[in-house]
Amino acid sequence: MPMAAAEIEAAILAALPGATVEISDLAGDGDHYAAIVTAPQFAGLNRVAQQRLVYNALGGRMGGALHALKLTTRAS
């Protein structure tokens, strides 16, 4: 079963307190999303490390319940 946008947002916010998350359903199918995550935890980290924090927040759901996520990260 696909992961709902609200579930993605909740998982990221739980792992990155103080973050802001904007989720868009790219294909209208509940399976292909884009997310813009702005978080203070990203300060001083390169993009790979920032994105790793987000993927860790999603646990093992990438490639399973969450098929595709286009990710943009920004330090706040």
Q: Domains of the chain, with CATH numbers?
A: 5-75 (3.30.300.90)
Q: Does residue 60 register a pLDDT over 90?
A: no
Q: What is the mean pLDDT of the chain?
A: 94
| Averaged pLDDT, 1-5 | 85
SS3 call for 53? helix
Q: Does residue 36 register a pLDDT over 90?
A: yes
SS3 call for 31? coil
SS3 call for 57? helix
Q: Quick one: pLDDT band at residue 64, thresholds 50, 70, 90?
A: confident
Dist. CA 43–CA 48, nearest whole Å: 13
How many percent of the chain have pLDDT more than 90? Answer: 75
User: pLDDT: is 61 or 18 the higher one?
Assistant: 18
